[in-house]
Amino acid sequence: MAAAVQSVLLVGTAAWLFYNTWLAVAALLPVGIWYWHEWREECCKRKEQLFREQFQNGIQILSSLLKAGYSVENAIRETEKDLRPLYREGSRIRTEFERMVRELDMNLTAEQVLTSFSKRVNQEDVNNFVTVFAAAKRTGGDSISILKETVRIIGGKIETEREIQTVLAAKRLEFHVMCVIPLGMIGYMRMAFPEFLNVLYGNIPGVLLMTGCMVVYLFAYRLGNRIIKIEV
């Protein structure tokens, strides 16, 4: 709903600024749909990053419990309890661990439970953790040391991404400000000096020129958005 409202506002503003007619809204619907997809993708990435941080805390607790001598099944149960004061009810990590506990109560093995968890989440760090756990359990190696090292590697990767995002935070703000400035300038000119822009509305050359400006603006937005997205 939030994305839909923002898309409608964006399309309406663009129609008013670039074409001075609400008839342009129909022609600009693809722009609104594109923005909606971009917004949804960004929202999903934020939620994914949040879950990865939650998962990092979860496996750190799980690893410490295994090191203290808990079996894998009991460690999962205790991890679910330890996550309760850290995250609100209904958070993704708590929901997943609560489901794993229910599956353990149904006499599923720890490997089956974690494999099911990995398939549901379908996230790289989770898949790597479960794969390493399953391999260590089958080979009968030092599973605690292997899991501890895996947790350290995953945690280091997440911390690196967090540091990159912190460094890029200022640049991301600058990018958003720069995206607003061209629209703000056109809006200011429309309200303060409407006669300067009237020649661009209601005629084919003006429509073509404003369309070209919009295409350049959208290309610059797309390019800048890709530049500030760095993945590890």
**CA dihedral sign of residues 103, 115, 48, 37:** negative
pLDDT digits over 164-186, tens only? Answer: 878 778 888 888 888 888 888 88
Q: Is residue 192 part of a domain?
A: no
Quick one: CA torsion of 178, 181, 186, 191, rounded to 10 degrees?
Answer: 170
Domain of 108 in residue numbering reads as: 54-156
Q: Is residue 168 part of a domain?
A: no
Find out whether 95 and 120 touch, Cβ atoms under 8 Å.
no
Find out whether 210 and 200 touch, Cβ atoms under 8 Å.
yes
Q: Is residue 208 part of a domain?
A: no
pLDDT digits over 77-126, tens only? Answer: 999 999 999 888 888 999 999 999 999 989 888 888 888 888 888 888 88
Look up the CATH number of the domain holding residue 107: 1.20.81
Count of domains for the chain = 1
**pTM of the complete model:** 0.71
Contacts of 224 (CB under 8 A, 6+ apart): 175, 178, 179
